[in-house]
Amino acid sequence: MSYLPPWAKRLICLVILLCLATAATPRLLEFSDRTFTLTPEQIGTAKTGNNEERILAAIDDIRAGKMADARATVDALLNEQPNYRLAQLLRADLYAMRAMPLDTIGGGAAATNASAPSSVLDDLRKEALVRIAHRNEDQATANKLPANIVVFAPNQQYAILVDASTSRLYVFANENGKPKRIKDHYVVVGKLGVDKRVEGDQRSPLGVYFVTSHLTRPQLDKTYGELADLYGVGAWPISYPNELDRSQNRTGHGIWLHGSPAATYARAPQASNGCVVLTNEEMLKVSSYLQPGNTPVIVAPRVEWLTESEWLQRQSAALALLTQWKSKWENLDSAAYLQFYGDEFRSAEGQTIEAWRSQKTAVNTGKTWAKVQLSDISIFAAGENSSQLVTTFQQDYRSNNLENQMRKRLYWQRGNEGWKIIWEGAATI
């Protein structure tokens, strides 16, 4: 070695050291080596209940550090609903938390899959948050009544109420004229939210509508082919645009209640093109309460909840308003009668408030008496803070020179001067 250059001597020494180090390394992971064992994973207890109750229970257990119970619940959910994306996300989080702490839902998926679109994770977080928010709100509103359901018509057995702010659909039964909550479900609304104005704006409408028909899955398959899967178990069209929408030049069509694609258990809170979407399982449950041509579907920006005494006062005030309008009309008091109409009024025929005033004043001049009877009255409220009333009734009008019966609808708007009629005409459904 004395003849080797210095760099060669250093290289030979380094090789000898590496060989010795390799030989001294313990082989801890060989199957025959009993000096290393894995700690068995703790077996948890899966929670029971419906799918939403179980997903929320899993989130609660994660927050409380009960990881085994959370894993058991999520695994049970995914065994039943393998396409439940929120449950898949929680499973990814539970695996990731074995190696690192997480500070947000979906942190595990974000850490282990950097290519996952942030919009997908954001949508799933939103779904979790709106479900959690509903549970918290539900505890405060369980014994309250919705301001949106004011008066049921005698033949209306149920009403559907959608709270766009919480992605929630409620089914209310007509229990002796009072709304009784019997079911509620998570729903999906338009990708860009609510207050639909034009065709293709990807918003859900706000207002009072009615179920018009039922499109079965075989009917959808025949019409749309493979695209029918978007609607899941079936679709129940609603009457958008309603009479007021058309008078305000709102456009669009094909707004339905419908199910979800087979490959997706539940979609993000804002993911439709304007329809109101449920899981297939829950759409089937809700469908049993839908009567085409009769069941109202009220889509509100936020539901206003009232105590029973507040609700009764609200109902009495709405009925009194309608009675006052009828009385002024019967009394041929044109000036007082026309005070019920707002400056933005449009009739079914397109008359402005000026034309309406002229016509009604001229008609009443030729009357000596008039009698108006209203029956089968329904009143529902929509808009921010229940600021819009939709009154529908069977009208029997008789006077000295005219008799007329019709199904009529009035749209009222609350403003600085109180309630004003902004549309009047025959009810189209």
- Which residue numbers are catalytic? 258, 275
Q: Are 372 and 351 contacting, i.e. CB atoms less than 8 angstroms apart?
A: no
Q: What CA–CA distance (Å, rounded) separates 277 from 260?
A: 7
Helix-then-strand count for the chain, H and E: 12, 19
Tokens of 134: 């509903």
Bridge pairing between strands 418-426 and 341-347: parallel
* 332 Cβ contact list (under 8 Å, min separation 6): 364, 367, 369, 370
- Report the alpha-carbon angle 119-130-383, nearest 5: 105
In eight-state DSSP terms, residue 50 is S
Tokens of 91: 């499973």
* 301 Cβ contact list (under 8 Å, min separation 6): 164, 165, 194, 195, 206, 383, 384
Nearest partner of 270 among 423, 394, 164, 425, judged by Cα: 164
Nearest partner of 329 among 398, 391, 416, judged by Cα: 398
Tokens of 237: 């069209």
**Helix extents (H) in 225-307:** 243-247, 280-287
Phi (first) and psi of residue 180, to 5 degrees: -120, 120
Bridge pairing between strands 370-382 and 215-216: unpaired
Phi (first) and psi of residue 13, to 5 degrees: -65, -40
Bridge pairing between strands 296-300 and 149-151: unpaired
